[in-house]
Structure 1
Amino acid sequence: MSFWKNLFKRSTNQNESIGKLAWIGVDMHNHILPGIDDGSESIEQSLKLIQGLRELGIKKSISTPHIMHGVHDNTPATIQDAHAKLKQAITDNGIKFDLQYAAEYMIDDQLEELVHSGALCALPNRHILIEMSYLAESKALFQTIKDIQEKGYQPILAHPERYNYYHQNFKVYKEIKDAGCLLQLNLLSISRYYGEPVKSIALTLIKSGMYDLVGTDMHHDKHLHALKIVASKYDTFDLLKDNPIKNATIFDDSQKLAI
């Protein structure tokens, strides 16, 4: 079935979403740790979101709470604490789910200091997830990429399709890739969840083979509901077949988180 036929399939039966995201292997971007940022508010909600991931076929997750100076002042210690509490709840409820943790770093005044100090909460294989404000481009993006690389880490830019200020400057995506930064797609971006402009640029990046990773970026029940619709409506594996998606290779079980 062609790219466009897959894209515009009209099935929205959520029962058809069962197991459809198993091909991803690892959800490497979400906010399901409880009470630590703008994601899950409680252990009970976190367990519900985890059950939703399991139904979608995802049995391993790397939670990535925001670290954003003055808004979400998380540290490796606060993240580890929230992870330990949720991990215990998973065990107590007899749920089979591999829960790991890292962080999503806002490019702000604090990040430069954290990078240079090495006090980073990284994904496996020394990968660092970074993001920018949706309102204005960070002029420090390329310097941040360079600084992260010089410390021996691999930067990943979260959801590049959501930065509206780049939509009229497509070449910047290539410049980011050429600088050695990986690009991560939010799965909901292929629908109209974030709006038509985000969907349009996400599909353009997909057709150009620009994405390296995918994540749910799931925060709450509304995201889970929307993800089930996306999984039932689109053949995501086929849509992304020309992109070098690395979730199942660089985040394998043989690697441990670098804290």
Structure 2
Amino acid sequence: MFSIFKKKSFLKDELEGFLDIHNHILPGIDDGAATLEDSLNLLNKYEELGVTEFIATPHIMNDYYPNNPQTIGEALKKVRTALDESNKPYIKIKAAAEYMMDQFFLELMEKEKLLCLHENYVLVEMSYFQAPINLNEILFKLQTQQYRPILAHPERYVYMHRKTTQKYEELKERGCYFQLNLLSILGHYGKNIQQAAFHLLDNELIDFIGSDTHQLRHLEKLELSKVSHKRIDQIKPLLKRNKEVLKPFS
């Protein structure tokens, strides 16, 4: 009887029709796909997993990846053109961005409209070393401009782990939604990150889910890994919610 509860399933079996809302598949503009060929290789592997709908989210990070609507739009156009030439119109991609929350981000909000996942939902991230000292100011500014911030991979901010759910609940109260990385569930970033991911799932604090794919090996891990039935049951509603709420192709 005990072995029944320990049984696991391949994660890939749940990904058919998944809308990936966090990935780095556009070529040559951040630390994801370096070339158009890399982008197409990633999309081919995604297709093998049953995933054909994407919101690409290249980094916008002033010191490292100073992207803007033009650079992102040009990279998106290259991929769409290549897909048309490959006769794959069923692969659908739009572009948003993953914004680093820092002083530059505050200044950017004053100058231009942010690239959103859908309507006013915007993907944001923080440094892995510490939260921005003006985090409250940033979140307040987002809200006053009617944006809905989705915090990317909250499980990966180790400084958030120290007080169980307190820090996370505070961010929720300030209007943040949370997006979990599928790779975190698989232990890709280490045991502590995996345990934080499980903790957030168990406390029903996760709203959306994404792959955060940068390289082919990330998709290969999704393809080959198994997870418990408990975790499958927890992520199924999140996979569905991506499409229900962030529906760019409906």
Q: In structure 1, what is the Cα distance between the partners aligned to 2:237 and 2:68?
A: 37
Please, which of 159, 181, 184 is the counterpart of residue 176 of structure 2? 181
1:208 lines up with 2:209 in the alignment: no
> Match of 1:76?
69
Q: How far apart are residue 142 of structure 1 and its match?
A: 2.5
> Match of 2:156?
162
Q: In structure 2, what is the Cα distance between the partners aligned to 1:184 and 1:245?
A: 13
Secondary structure of 1:83's aligned partner:
helix
Q: In structure 1, what is the Cα distance between the partners aligned to 2:221 and 2:13?
A: 15
1:28 lines up with 2:5 in the alignment: no
| TM-score normalized with structure 2 length | 0.90
Which runs of no fewer than 5 residues in structure 2 stay unpaired? none
Q: In structure 1, what is the Cα distance between the partners aligned to 2:236 and 2:11?
A: 19
Which runs of no fewer than 5 residues in structure 1 stay unpaired? none
Please, which of 58, 63, 80 is the counterpart of residue 56 of structure 2? 63
Secondary structure of 2:93's aligned partner:
strand
Q: How far apart are residue 61 of structure 1 and its match?
A: 0.3
| TM-score normalized with structure 1 length | 0.87
Secondary structure of 2:179's aligned partner:
strand
1:43 lines up with 2:72 in the alignment: no
Q: In structure 2, what is the Cα distance between the partners aligned to 1:194 and 1:233?
A: 16
Question: What letter corresponds to residue 129 of structure 2 in structure 1?
Answer: L
Question: What letter corresponds to residue 99 of structure 2 in structure 1?
Answer: Y
Q: How far apart are residue 245 of structure 1 and its match?
A: 6.1
RMSD (CA atoms):
2.3
> Match of 1:112?
106
Task: Decide which moves more: 137-146 or 76-85.
Answer: 137-146
Q: Is the 8 A contact 1:118 1:151 kept in 2?
A: no
Please, which of 189, 193, 196 is the counterpart of residue 188 of structure 2? 193
**Residue 245 and residue 142 in structure 1: after superposition, are their counterparts in 2 closer, same or farther (change >3 A)?**
farther
**Residue 52 and residue 114 in structure 1: after superposition, are their counterparts in 2 closer, same or farther (change >3 A)?**
same
Matches within 5 A, 1:75-154: 75-95=68-88, 96-154=90-148
1:218 lines up with 2:216 in the alignment: no
Identity of aligned residues (%): 37
Please, which of 31, 49, 54 is the counterpart of residue 47 of structure 2? 54
Superposed CA offset, 1:164-197 (max 9, x none): 0111122010111111110000000011110000
Q: In structure 2, what is the Cα distance between the partners aligned to 1:51 and 1:142?
A: 41
Task: Decide which moves more: 108-117 or 138-147.
Answer: 138-147
Q: Is the 8 A contact 2:27 2:33 kept in 1?
A: yes
Q: For this pair of structures, how many residues does the alignment match?
A: 246
Q: Is the 8 A contact 1:185 1:213 kept in 2?
A: yes
Q: In structure 2, what is the Cα distance between the partners aligned to 1:229 and 1:169?
A: 33
**Residue 208 and residue 242 in structure 1: after superposition, are their counterparts in 2 closer, same or farther (change >3 A)?**
farther
Question: What letter corresponds to residue 115 of structure 1 in structure 2?
Answer: M
Question: What letter corresponds to residue 95 of structure 2 in structure 1?
Answer: Y
Q: How far apart are residue 115 of structure 1 and its match?
A: 1.4
Q: Is the 8 A contact 1:116 1:151 kept in 2?
A: no
